Structure 1
Amino acid sequence: MIMLWLPAAVSLVLSSSLHVAGDAGGGAASLSVRRYDAIFSFGDSLADTGNNPVVFDWYSIFDPVTRPPYGSTFFGRPTGRNCDGRLVLDFVAERLGLPLVPPFLAYNGSFRHGANFAVGAATALDSSFFHGAGDPPGASPFPLNTSLSVQLSWFDSLKPSLCSTTQGECKDFFGRSLFFVGEFGINDYHSSFGRRSMQEIRSFVPDIIRTISMAKLIGDGATTVVVPGMIPSGCSPPVLVTFADAGAAEYDASTGCLREPNEVATLHNSLLLDAVEELREKHPDVTIVHTDLFRHVSEMVQNPDKFGFQKDVLSVCCGGPGKYHYNTRIICGDEGATTCVDPSKSLYWDGVHLTEAAYHYIADDWLHAITLSARATS
């Protein structure tokens, strides 16, 4: 049985980076510069392609992503993705000519072309952190531990089936693979909003940055790693609902987004980039592509027409009655929830998660960034 609980967070550091800012729509650039044979992904529900239902089933917890209308836009059925269709990871795999990355816990076939360890609700910090002082008894939002350290342990368990114990063979295999680490941090922060003070939340941002790990993967032979930053949390419908009583001065008048949650995300992204820039010289042959999710989503919020989204861009496509069409008691997939006619006109799918249309735009930018980084180091 695969263990979900680990005694402590594995504290690892970023080791190298190449910060590449791509243009939205630059994904048409050729990817022939570098051939990747596999993709390995770590993260949360923005990247999970089917692990979460398995984890929830082990503990008899219902997962709404197993119901329609999840998956309706592309797959025609629920697949375990928190989306109406494909995620960024899916678009990247398609563009690289690779199979869609299979979820590690829900797939019995070969992982020679990669594996996805991302799990919905995963945190950067181990779940024990959220059982600390200040939490009412039984109020932890994370009864299961699927943090980054746990996902890395799953990766370790898979390695013997991918390459021999010979270090050179593994380094060669992983050197021809593309690694995605994150996004991590959304669940750490969003679960704390409304439960902890903003000052306390800011205080553990450095701990989250230290936990986002490149060092172990580089030691295993990774030479290309994609590291997404944080989304603009203050624009996320669940966060907006959490702070429903916020005063007018707490919002950005031009976007309708909350200032303080966005400031936490900005701090996260700033420290992430500082760590990347500080340590990249340690591994000059390793390319880490930083992708700016904050910028991507902010552009869509600020200019919905440019991307074909509805004017009421902060409202979700699939949800229950209430402001932003988001209701914590009636969520997408529940009886009483309703779905918009055309998900491609919406930025947000069911809450924090985006629609396939939004992920497609983001994937174009990431692919462009990967291409530029490959050229820069080739």
Structure 2
Amino acid sequence: MQHVILCLQISLLLSSFSYSMQAQYTSIFSFGDSYTDTGNKVILYGPAAADLWINKPPFGMTFFGHPAGRLSDGRLVIDFIAQALGLPLLPPSLAKDQSFKQGANFAVAGATALKTSTTRPALYPQLAVAGGAVPPPNNISLADELGWFDAMKPALCGSPQACKDYFTKALFVVGELGWNDYGVMVVGGKSVAEAQSYVPQIVATIVAATEKLINDGATAVVVSGISPMGCAPGNLVLLASQDPADYEPDTGCLKGMNELSRDHNAQLSQALTTLGGRYPGARVTYADLYGPVIAFAAAPTRFGFDSALRDCCGGGGGKYNFNLSAACGMPGVAACPNPSAYVNWDGVHLTEAAYHRVADGWLRGPYANPPILDTA
């Protein structure tokens, strides 16, 4: 009997906690790139979206059963956050005939932090030889996404004060940004050191966007760092080195690219701490994407994965299974039978299983401080 009462008390406690979180956040507004995009890239592609290889099976196979605008086999971190808060999955902001009262996702695959990137087109000639429909440079930056957010405000709230009241109950998520800025530079021929010289400018852009959201009324903003770029199978193939010293002995990842990721994350984390100090009424959370992914790479079996550096969906074979001419979604390219055994989905993006573990670390710790579900 005591056992039954205890279970009932725990159930009631968890239920009340869930309701309190739903009451705390009534909507989510999200920004970012392909790690966060839930469909804007496909919408931007227009009538040709039916031929777009990221809009073909096996994308979406695990959760949705069909392509769902996400560059993964299923849900992304932002999806798990929405579900944990009792909110619907965020519709892409460019979707027609949608209600955005409970949130919108402004993220776009391929988006950069900086407004312009002179090296942006460099990667696309390599992709063009692959055949099929290739996502062109969309020149979408964080500034564009913020502009879409501003344009949506009149439909959400009628006045600046009404918006401040409305956004006080919203969770804002500034997803991973910077990967495309750095990645296109390096794959396009710049050295890691040259790309690294852009870190202060990129970090300042992300922090300025976060401050803008706070001034718009946001009181809870989660800002993501970037993942270890040297662990992505795509980079391990495109930036392969003959020198063993260029690889981390414990993970097999590329040292230089991971150093670039760590530098970005360290500067971003420090800048967000400073920003939070200027706005004591707002909770600014740095969400670590590097920590969990590097842990997966160092000891995949500890987290239930068989492979960390080989992608699940690709036609490259070999150690990493990545080939630009046989990318996921292209004709004849199949996914592995069990995506949940893999960390990486397509050479760049993660599987639903990996995103789920990352999301848990952001929601409950230890990869976000304070965790999203920490109401204290």
TM (norm. structure 1) is 0.86
Aligned identity (percent) is: 45
Aligned-partner Cα distance in 2 for 1:131–1:352: 17
Q: Is 2:244 the partner of 1:248?
A: yes
Which amino acid in structure 2 is aligned with residue 320 of structure 1? G
Which amino acid in structure 2 is aligned with residue 206 of structure 1? P
Aligned-partner Cα distance in 1 for 2:261–2:369: 26
297, 316, 319: which is aligned to 2:314? 319
Aligned-partner Cα distance in 2 for 1:239–1:291: 23
- Preserved contact between residue 124 and residue 185 of structure 1 (Cα < 8 Å): yes
238, 260, 264: which is aligned to 1:264? 260
Aligned-partner Cα distance in 1 for 2:120–2:362: 35
Match of 1:178 in 2: 171
1:375–1:137 CA distance, 2 compared to 1 (3 A): closer
18, 30, 39: which is aligned to 2:28? 39
Aligned-partner Cα distance in 2 for 1:204–1:198: 10
Aligned-partner Cα distance in 1 for 2:60–2:373: 35
45, 50, 61: which is aligned to 1:72? 61
Which amino acid in structure 2 is aligned with residue 124 of structure 1? A
328, 331, 337: which is aligned to 1:332? 328
Instruction: Look up the SS of the partner of 2:176 in the other structure.
Output: coil
94, 99, 103: which is aligned to 1:105? 94
Instruction: Look up the SS of the partner of 1:168 in the other structure.
Output: helix
Match of 1:217 in 2: 213
- Preserved contact between residue 40 and residue 177 of structure 1 (Cα < 8 Å): yes
Alignment of 1:1-378 (within 5 A): 30=17, 32=20, 35-57=24-46, 62-130=51-119, 143-165=137-159, 167-194=160-187, 195-212=189-206, 213-310=209-306, 312-323=307-318, 324-369=320-365, 372=370, 378=376
Aligned-partner Cα distance in 1 for 2:15–2:351: 21
Which amino acid in structure 1 is aligned with residue 73 of structure 2? D
Which amino acid in structure 2 is aligned with residue 175 of structure 1? T
Q: Deviation of residue 302 (structure 1)?
A: 1.1
Instruction: Look up the SS of the partner of 1:359 in the other structure.
Output: helix
Aligned-partner Cα distance in 2 for 1:88–1:208: 22
Instruction: Look up the SS of the partner of 1:225 in the other structure.
Output: strand
Q: Deviation of residue 371 (structure 1)?
A: 9.2
- Preserved contact between residue 49 and residue 81 of structure 1 (Cα < 8 Å): yes
Which amino acid in structure 2 is aligned with residue 146 of structure 1? I
RMSD: 2.6
- Preserved contact between residue 362 and residue 371 of structure 2 (Cα < 8 Å): no
- Preserved contact between residue 30 and residue 371 of structure 1 (Cα < 8 Å): no
TM (norm. structure 2) is 0.86
Which amino acid in structure 2 is aligned with residue 38 of structure 1? S
Q: Deviation of residue 222 (structure 1)?
A: 0.4
- Preserved contact between residue 56 and residue 62 of structure 1 (Cα < 8 Å): no
Which amino acid in structure 2 is aligned with residue 183 of structure 1? E
1:247–1:374 CA distance, 2 compared to 1 (3 A): closer
1:109-143 CA distance string (max 9 Å, x none): 210000000001111112344369xx699899973
Aligned-partner Cα distance in 2 for 1:296–1:204: 25
Instruction: Look up the SS of the partner of 2:45 in the other structure.
Output: helix
Instruction: Answer with 201-210 or 367-376: which moved more.
Output: 367-376
| Larger relative contact order (CA 8 Å, sep ≥ 6) | 1
1:279–1:78 CA distance, 2 compared to 1 (3 A): same
Aligned-partner Cα distance in 1 for 2:151–2:217: 16
- Preserved contact between residue 363 and residue 371 of structure 2 (Cα < 8 Å): no
Match of 2:130 in 1: none
1:212-250 CA distance string (max 9 Å, x none): 121111111000000111101110111101122341110
Instruction: Look up the SS of the partner of 1:288 in the other structure.
Output: strand
Q: Deviation of residue 104 (structure 1)?
A: 0.8
- Preserved contact between residue 30 and residue 104 of structure 2 (Cα < 8 Å): yes
Gaps of 5+ in 2: 1-13, 128-134
Which amino acid in structure 2 is aligned with residue 71 of structure 1? G
1:241–1:105 CA distance, 2 compared to 1 (3 A): same
1:182-236 CA distance string (max 9 Å, x none): 2101111111123101221111111100111211111110000001111011101
- Preserved contact between residue 55 and residue 69 of structure 2 (Cα < 8 Å): yes
- Preserved contact between residue 177 and residue 222 of structure 1 (Cα < 8 Å): yes
Aligned-partner Cα distance in 2 for 1:331–1:339: 10
1:136–1:218 CA distance, 2 compared to 1 (3 A): closer
How many pairs align?
348
- Preserved contact between residue 163 and residue 216 of structure 2 (Cα < 8 Å): yes
Aligned-partner Cα distance in 2 for 1:219–1:346: 40
